[in-house]
Structure formats: C-alpha cells, structure tokens
Structure 1
Amino acid sequence: MKRVVITGAGTINALGHTVPETLEAMREGRCGIGELEFRDVERLAIRIGGQVRGYSADTRFNRQQLSLYDRFTQFTLIAAHEAISQSGLEFSGALAAKSGVVLGNSGGGMTTLDENYRSVYEDGKNRVHPFVVPKLMNNAAAGHVSMEYNLKGPSFTVSTACASSNHAMAQAFQMVHGGMAPVMITGGSESMLCFGGVKAWEGLRVMSKDGCRPFSANRNGMVQGEGAGVFVFEEYEHARKRGAEILAEVAGFAMTSDAADIVMPSKQGAARAMRGALSDARINADRVGYINAHGTGTTANDKTECAAVADVFGPHADRLMISSTKSMHGHCIGGTGAVELLACIMALRDGVIAPTIGYEETDPECALDVVPNQAREAPIEVALSNAFAFGGLNAVLALKRFET
C-alpha cells in the first residue's frame, strides 16, 4: 500500500480567502461570525453566520462562468486553484488520465435554488435559466474542477450532510493508498447562507442567535458558515521524486453508522469511528496529541463527542488537546471537515493548536482540554479530524506529522 501525503492546500471561508489568512486568524483566535447580509435577512430569527466577507464574484469570474458557477462552485474553484498551485502539479498525459477529484457537499447550489424558487413562485415567471440544473447540482464543483485541471480519473461528489468532506477525503485517500490514482484533488465546500438555506436550519431549533460556544456550559446552538477547503493528496514516492513540499501525511480513516437516530448522535458510533481510524493508521491512542472536534456547540453533540473521546482514549484523554474551530468560522456543513483539516495541518506542521473561542463556563460533561479561547504552542505527532453527520454517519481521518 502507498503512503499518502498532502502537497497542496487551499481555502476560502469566513476567516480568510487563503490558507495563510485562515491560519493566521486561527492562531489569533479571531471570530469570523457576524451579522448576515443578504436579501430578506430581516425575516429570519437567526441572523448571524460565518459569511465570506469582502468577496466579489465578478472580480474572479467572467459572465459566462457565473452563468454556470453557483457560489459553492466558485468557492471550490478558488480553493482548488490555491491548492494545485502550491503543489506545483500540472496534469497531462498519464498523470491526468489517472488523477481525479472527490469533493464533499451537502446542499448543492442553494443560492441558485433560492433565487429560482423566488423567480417562479414569488415573481410569477414561467422560465428559468437553461443552466439552472447544471449550476445547482451537487456534483457541479467536482465537474468544473476536473475540467479546469484536466483530471480524467475517478471524479465524483459525496453527500453525507456534515460528514461529506471527511467521507470525500477518505475516498480520495483510499484511491491513492491503494494505487488507483497517483494524485487526487479532494476536500469540500458549502454555501447555504441564503434566505432559504438559513430558514430551513431554523426549523430544527438547534441554531444560536448570539454565537457558537462549543463545550461551554452556556452554549445554545450551532452557527452556520460557508466556504471551501481543497487539498492535493499525493502518493509519497511521486511527491518525493519531484521534490514537492509535504504538509502532512494522511495515515488512515474510518467510517461508521450509528444506525440509531436521524439527528441525535451516538457515543458508540463516534467511538467506533475514532478507534477505526487509529487502527487503520496503525497508531496507538497515546500517540494522538490533538483532535479537531466536530464540536457544533449543541448540547447533544458536544457532550456525546466528549464521552466518545473519553471512551476511546481512557486516561490519555486528560492529556489530549481537543478544539472546535467552528467557534471561529461557523459550521460549514458539507464543507466543514475540509476547512477544519487546515487546523490539523497547522498543529502537525507548525505546532500551533487552534483554540475553541467563546468558551465561558466549564461543563462537567465536557471536562477535556478544549484549548479555550487562545491558541497554544505544542509539538504534535498525530491528529484526528472528526465529522459526525445527521443520519448517524461518522467519518474520522488520522494524520501524522510528515517524516521521511
């Protein structure tokens, strides 16, 4: 089996339009959550989110492209450009024929959907743009990335709610690990911050009106975010021979199903996923120094995740650092695992642990080291990235600090 390394990373999210901007914001414990700005926001009960600010699609894409690119696809292409540029790869010949793209996304083109529902139902129009379907479909971003970079190998989209990105990256890892592809472009994106997208989440009654405070006793719900994270997963020998800069090594993964409840999380399912990732990576639990938690800021998720960590790591759980960067950039739904993988890379490569900001009160049911409010410098050898989704679908990635 092949070793799999990360040779490129790209992002755009509420904390920054690039990876360096995002990591700087994480190190500073900066909050990207604020008042939402879009049509009819005053009709919503929830008016905050991790919205990408200072972004103008017109300066990035031409009119023809914008007729095909929903906001989630735009974000994906921006992140992919940064990641592939960093990797130094150009796809042609045999490399192009075998390399592909696997992305995670949950809602597809929600902005496009929202705008066209308005057009038909509110404005009474009987026609929509002929490209509405290819613009809003979940696999649009993967298709456009494959076309933009000549990726002719396995390419598809995974849609498993909030675990979409981790499931996608696990599939990409497996393809490189097993020798199917020398390089895979992977990650995920989401852009649900439009009237219909927020209104739908309001109905679940799990949203906070004032901020995301994972693991804090006074937490009162999650906050939506948006953005994309894209990575280049490459076979180690292929990367070594061309002298590529290596950011981290992907060591293993696991996926489990709770098979219990459509929305309530299960300690057993989460624990099996973490144990499975460690087993796949052949890593003992006591080597893990950091876990990027799913950490949504809901009462149910946070206490269940902490119980699962305690179950898997036993006495070592007290020496682990665990944080939720959703406190800074919001819950990016299908794209969240990809944006959060950046915090794992920062921990492994730079020895900087992103904080859980907004932490105010100790919760006895979340009595772990959640790196409250301020980033911390600490050398880390192994990190886990957790994602637990509605439907009881869990995906955990194990990463190692790269060593030759």
Structure 2
Amino acid sequence: MNRVVITGIGIYSTIGKNIEEVNESLFAGKSGIGFEQLRKDLGFRSGLTGLLERPNLKGELKRRQRVGMAEEGEYAYVATIEALKQAKIDDDFLDTRDVGILYGNDSSARSVTESHDLLNEKKDTALLGSGAIFQSMNSTITMNLSTIFRLRGINLTISAACASGSHSIGMGYNLIKGGLQDVIICGGGQEINYHSMGSFDGLGAFSILENEPQ
C-alpha cells in the first residue's frame, strides 16, 4: 500500500479567494454570507447567500477555454492553480505524469435555465452558443480542467450533494493508496447563483433572519 500525502491546497470561496484570505476570515469569524435583494424580488423567502464575485480569467485562459466553463468551474480553476503552485507541480510534471482529477459538483443549473429561457424567446437552438452544453453538465469542472491542464489520469465527477468534495478526496486517497494512481487533483466546486438555490429556499433551508449575516 502506498503512503498518501497532500502536497498542495487552494481555495476560492465566499470567505476568501486564497488560503491566506480564508485563514484571516476564519480567525476573524467572517461568514462570507450577505443579503441579495434580487432573491427577494424573485420571491425567495430568504435573501441570504454567499457573496463571491466571479474571477476574471480573460488574461489567463483563451476564449475557447472559457466559453464552456460554468461558474463553479471558474472557482475550481483558481483554486487548482493555487494548489498546483504550492505543490510545485509545473507544466513539465503535468506533461510527463499521468495526473488524475476528481472533483465534486452537484449541479450546474444556471446554464440549463438560461438556455431554456433563450430558446423560448428566440426559437433557435443555434443561438444557445457552443459552450452551453459544456456548462450544463455536472462534469463541467473535471471536463474543463482536465483539458486545460492536459491531464491523462482518472477523470471523474462525484455528485453527492454537500459531501461531493469530501467524497472526491476520499476516493483520491483510496486510488493512490491502492496503487491505481500516483497523483490526483481532488476538490469540490459549487455554483451559488439563485437558479440553483430556489428549491432549497422553498424547502425552508435558509434562515429568514436576515439582519447582520456577516
């Protein structure tokens, strides 16, 4: 049995866009939760949500690489870059080793609903764009990142609700320990838009006490 070690970590989240920011937020007790009026306007019982701007990747990725990437894929890309840097994994390593990827992702609702709305309005599937299908897949993270980083190892998306990211780490551990893989990028990504959260709000999953959520 092989020994398994974590050589690098990265994060892009509502409490910080890198490890240092997240560390500061945890010590300061910041939640990363805020109020979004749009949700109330749409009929949500709770206007609370994680507040996180999407990263600007125009200077890092080509348009062809960005067009098929959903919101959660962008977050995962930034986190993966940080983890690879900390692990000192460079392009030469990626090109000469069979590096795998396991990412947890339980939904990609925004692309689906936006495509549905556009089709109803325009009545022309050609206007949906070339990236719509790739954004709508649950495997959007692993599909895009494996192409960007030229990965040749295992490529799986784990969809297990809130445990998706944890399961990906556990599966990665077992694959490396059992000798089936040498290196695996493991993690989890989640979209935070209202498209994916409406049904949760309808179930009463979010607090309606909206004062000072931070």
**Which of the five TM-score ranges fits, normalised by the shorter chain?**
0.7 to 0.9
After superposition, the CA RMSD in angstroms is: 2.3
Task: State the alpha-carbon separation in 2 of the partners of residues 27 and 20 from structure 1.
Answer: 11
Out of 90, 94, 103, the residue aligned to residue 91 of structure 1 is 94
Cα deviation for residue 137 of structure 1 reads 0.6
Which residue of structure 2 aligns with residue 112 of structure 1? 111
Q: TM-score, normalised by structure 2?
A: 0.86
SS in 1 for 2:77: helix
Letter of the 2:205 counterpart: V
SS in 2 for 1:15: coil
Which residue of structure 1 aligns with residue 155 of structure 2? 155
Alignment of 1:132-171 (within 5 A): 132-171=132-171
- In the superposition, relative to structure 1, how do residues 54 and 159 fare at CA in structure 2: closer, same or farther (>3 Å)? closer
Which residue of structure 1 aligns with residue 52 of structure 2? 52
SS in 1 for 2:10: strand
Runs of 5+ unmatched residues, structure 2: none
Cα deviation for residue 151 of structure 1 reads 1.8
Which residue of structure 2 aligns with residue 201 of structure 1? 200
Question: Is the Cα contact below 8 Å between 2:103 and 2:188 reproduced in 1?
Answer: yes
Letter of the 1:136 counterpart: S
Alignment of 1:51-70 (within 5 A): 51-53=51-53, 55-56=55-56, 58=58, 61-70=61-70
Q: How many residues align?
A: 207
Question: Is the Cα contact below 8 Å between 1:18 and 1:82 reproduced in 2?
Answer: yes
SS in 2 for 1:92: helix
- In the superposition, relative to structure 1, how do residues 6 and 130 fare at CA in structure 2: closer, same or farther (>3 Å)? same
- In the superposition, relative to structure 1, how do residues 78 and 132 fare at CA in structure 2: closer, same or farther (>3 Å)? same
Letter of the 1:6 counterpart: I
Kindly name which structure, 1 or 2, has the bigger radius of gyration based on alpha carbons. Answer: 1
Task: State the alpha-carbon separation in 2 of the partners of residues 101 and 148 from structure 1.
Answer: 12
Letter of the 2:183 counterpart: V
Deviation by residue 1:212-237 (Cα, 9 ceiling, x = unmatched)? 9xxxxxxxxxxxxxxxxxxxxxxxxx
Which portions of structure 1, spanning 4 or more consecutive aligned residues, are displaced by more than 6 angstroms? Answer: none
Which residue of structure 2 aligns with residue 42 of structure 1? 41
Deviation by residue 1:133-168 (Cα, 9 ceiling, x = unmatched)? 122111121122222222211111010111111111
SS in 2 for 1:181: coil
Deviation by residue 1:37-84 (Cα, 9 ceiling, x = unmatched)? 76x651122211112147445565443333211111111111111101
Letter of the 2:71 counterpart: R
Cα deviation for residue 198 of structure 1 reads 2.2
SS in 1 for 2:80: helix
Question: Is the Cα contact below 8 Å between 1:105 and 1:158 reproduced in 2?
Answer: yes
Cα deviation for residue 13 of structure 1 reads 0.7
Cα deviation for residue 111 of structure 1 reads 2.1
Letter of the 1:132 counterpart: A
Letter of the 2:173 counterpart: F
Moved more, 110-119 or 11-20: 110-119
Question: Is the Cα contact below 8 Å between 2:54 and 2:71 reproduced in 1?
Answer: no
Question: Is the Cα contact below 8 Å between 2:36 and 2:49 reproduced in 1?
Answer: yes
Deviation by residue 1:12-55 (Cα, 9 ceiling, x = unmatched)? 111111111111111111121002276x6511222111121474
Q: Bigger relative contact order, structure 1 or 2, given CA contacts below 8 A and separation 6+?
A: 2
Higher share in strand? 1
Q: TM-score, normalised by structure 1?
A: 0.48
Runs of 5+ unmatched residues, structure 1: 213-326, 329-404
Letter of the 2:139 counterpart: N
Letter of the 1:115 counterpart: E
Alignment of 1:308-347 (within 5 A): none
